[in-house]
Chains A and B, each alone.
Chain A
């Protein structure tokens, strides 16, 4: 059986939660690029990964979200990206041991194609380099996540598919009156159609919205594709307290929506900003109940 089918044969698969805040709790400094810790503080990154495996994740991601050559073009460590990506997968694999699968993360470039800040060929090259390094590190699959632009997401999906690994493709729905559009105005239906045609094995949404907000997005994705759906919601919408983002949803509140999300068609479920291992443990308890 193919990996994706196998993972959800017995019901929804549990993903992980946020990494950045967990790394900050372990000393990641202001303005520091989290991905570089894969080389400098592999032990602390592994602690985060292991915390999610211990909390019950069936699948964990990798600390490689920003490790592409466009996002970090101005960074002195841009030459070490291949090692950063490989190490990111190796760290998650060590933490997972035989208990969880490792899906490697590719995030957006942070540049807009439409305004000419970046061109197609530099994006394609950056994602191809990253995807190759993630595959070489031994990833079980690749997750293209937090995308706002369909073209950019498409380049990342192509790059990920070229490795032969299964590919998950997600966008961030944080705009529009119903919070059902990406920053670039993309709807769930349009993303599902384009990603299905591009050959993504799993299609989803992450970040930008709380778990309740993602229930209708999940239904709409599920209605528009035959692929399984992946949802990683935030712990509510952030409130600003003295310039700091605070998420109010508790692990128990978050997990209380699990049934609705599954009914809406989600097969892969986890958390994004504001969530931590306690959220995953709460989801695990509900799933196993």
Chain B
């Protein structure tokens, strides 16, 4: 098995220690760090995502794989910036005001980090003002809004409106997700996209920033 195949397997099976060790040996053997990402880890996370959507993988498998990839990324990040490669961009994410549910939001954050985004997680019950402040401060390209309760969905709309009012709407894309949501609702509140699950969220985020 090549080092790339070994790393693919380690991420696919969520084996963090093995992933870090294989990556270390690959780098010693002068394998291009970018290739560890593009040829091993991203295909592995694609396969994890496929299995999750097919309901062969469940939340624990998803989290373990994302964690394995994140650990390797943290170690190879310094090498990448030397070569002038940067991450895919910053995304500010949070559960909207009035809603304390965060499992779905945390899964999305883990998967986005695994895919190479810089994720700023504002937590739960996040006011529109806090979203606006974080987008400004981080020059984020993307905002991810989560809600589990139907009754807190209007907070999504107020957050989109607050971004608009702050003059940020033309430079930040908004994606929304959560059990009660739909593409129709995303359109209704003028968000840019809806993602049905954590894997879809990565695809949607990549499409929105052109990564």
A: residues with CB less than 8 A from B are 30-31, 71, 74-75, 110-112, 114-115, 117, 175-177, 181-185, 240, 243-245
Shortest beta-carbon distance from A28 to chain B in Å:
10
Cβ–Cβ contact B60 & A114, under 8 A = yes
B: residues with CB less than 8 A from A are 54-55, 57-61, 63-64, 98-103, 106, 110, 124-125, 149-153, 180-182, 185
Q: Please give 18 more A-B residue pairs, beta carbons under 8 A apart, in addition to A31-B152, A117-B102.
A: A30-B149, A30-B152, A31-B149, A74-B100, A74-B124, A75-B100, A110-B100, A110-B101, A112-B103, A114-B64, A177-B54, A181-B55, A183-B58, A184-B58, A185-B58, A185-B61, A243-B185, A244-B150
Cβ–Cβ contact A112 & B106, under 8 A = yes
Cβ–Cβ contact A115 & B110, under 8 A = yes
In the bound assembly, the distance between CA atoms of A184 and B64 in angstroms comes to 12
Cβ–Cβ contact B106 & A115, under 8 A = yes
What residues of chain A lie closer than 8 Å to B59, measured between beta carbons? 112, 114, 183-185
Question: Which residue of the partner chain B has the closest CB to A117?
Answer: B106
Cβ–Cβ contact A245 & B180, under 8 A = yes
Shortest beta-carbon distance from A173 to chain B in Å:
12
What residues of chain A lie closer than 8 Å to B152, measured between beta carbons? 30-31
What residues of chain A lie closer than 8 Å to B63, measured between beta carbons? 112, 114-115
In the bound assembly, the distance between CA atoms of A23 and B162 in angstroms comes to 32
Cβ–Cβ contact A176 & B55, under 8 A = yes
Cβ–Cβ contact B98 & A31, under 8 A = yes
Question: Which residue of the partner chain A has the closest CB to B106?
Answer: A115
Shortest beta-carbon distance from B186 to chain A in Å:
11
Shortest beta-carbon distance from B112 to chain A in Å:
14
In the bound assembly, the distance between CA atoms of A117 and B101 in angstroms comes to 12
25 A-B residue pairs with Cβ-Cβ distance under 8 Å, sorted by A, are A31-B98, A31-B99, A31-B149, A31-B151, A74-B100, A74-B124, A75-B100, A110-B100, A110-B103, A112-B106, A114-B60, A114-B63, A114-B64, A115-B106, A115-B110, A117-B102, A177-B54, A181-B58, A182-B58, A183-B103, A184-B60, A185-B57, A185-B58, A185-B60, A240-B180
Shortest beta-carbon distance from B181 to chain A in Å:
8
In the bound assembly, the distance between CA atoms of A176 and B57 in angstroms comes to 9
For the complex of A and B, 8 pairs with smallest distance between CB atoms = A185-B58, A30-B151, A31-B98, A176-B55, A177-B55, A31-B151, A115-B63, A114-B60
What residues of chain A lie closer than 8 Å to B57, measured between beta carbons? 185
In the bound assembly, the distance between CA atoms of A177 and B53 in angstroms comes to 10
Shortest beta-carbon distance from B189 to chain A in Å:
10
